[in-house]
Amino acid sequence: MRSENRIVELAAWGFDESQDRDQVVEADDLARVRGRAANLIELQPEWDSISPVLDDATEHLKDRLSTCATRNDVRMEFEGLEWRLAVIDLRRLLCFQRRLVLPGKDTEPESHQEFDWQRRLELAFPPTRVSKYTQRLNPTELTLQTDNPDFRVWLKSISKDAESFEVAVCHGSPFMEVAHYRGRWFLRDGYHRAYRLLRACVFAVPAVVVHAKSLVELGAVEPWFFPEDILLGRRPPAVSDFMSDDLVLRWRRPVRRKVIRIAITEHFETMDSEEEKGAEREHCNQAR
């Protein structure tokens, strides 16, 4: 039998295009769910963006947070950003992610008693993330496959003369992250852990707090995220909205894996006049 994921998707702010959703959800049902959710949001007051930082809990965990802040992987992940560690309240956070992709079989929520401060610290600052992936390599193509949707690759030079390169892999941030952007507070990373905690009625969790100066630093730049005008609107989507049956659409899709293919291709292109002059000068210099 084909394995499936459960999708929990926020409905009040419109839907993006999804062939998977269109195959399993009728257009009339989609419009009905969206209309119901949008009407409920319209009845709610304008969002009051209160700081989610819990000072007393942060002070209580001060020593353990200081230890986490000295970790090399934490410092490297947030290099170039303005950040600190604090305990935050999940109920005060907005979200830019439209949907959660969950395991096919639902489980009973964990109990509040299971989440002591040590476990919350381990959830927020786990060891460096590692993904299982397979690779196929031939002289002109590299293919990587993984179940981790945050898996990325990039090319970098490994020699001073820039004639040797390597493919570096990145498994995505393993940390709970919050960002302050244009007067509002967002969950930056850790959506699935936040969903688990909210189901267990656990609201206070340690996190990296980033003061974002741009949408890029916030991290809300992928086409499948909510756009900025919605995030800064009168009643933007909140992380806790995922917990409301009246504000979400639930559906299923086949389990997917991520495939990254890096191929060597060759072609010729016409140079512009300046490039052509430069090429002629380089040819003459080599001929001397």
CB neighbours of residue 155 within 10 Å: 10
Say what the pTM is.
0.85
Nearest to 96 by CA among 2, 194, 21, 189: 189
pLDDT of residue 10: 98
Question: How far is Cα 144 from Cα 133, in angstroms, rounded to an integer?
Answer: 7
Contact indicator for 218, 181 with CB cutoff of 8 Å: yes
- C-alpha angle 21-26-29 in degrees, rounded to nearest 5: 105
Amino acid residing at 125:
F
Closest to 258 (Cα-Cα) out of 150, 98, 103? 150
DSSP classification of residue 233? S
pLDDT (tens digit per residue) in 203-262:
999 999 999 999 999 999 999 999 999 999 999 999 999 999 999 999 999 998 899 999
What is the pLDDT at residue 52?
Answer: 98
Instruction: Give CA angle at 78 (171, 64), nearest 5°.
Output: 95
The phi, psi pair for 40, rounded to 5°, reads -65, -40
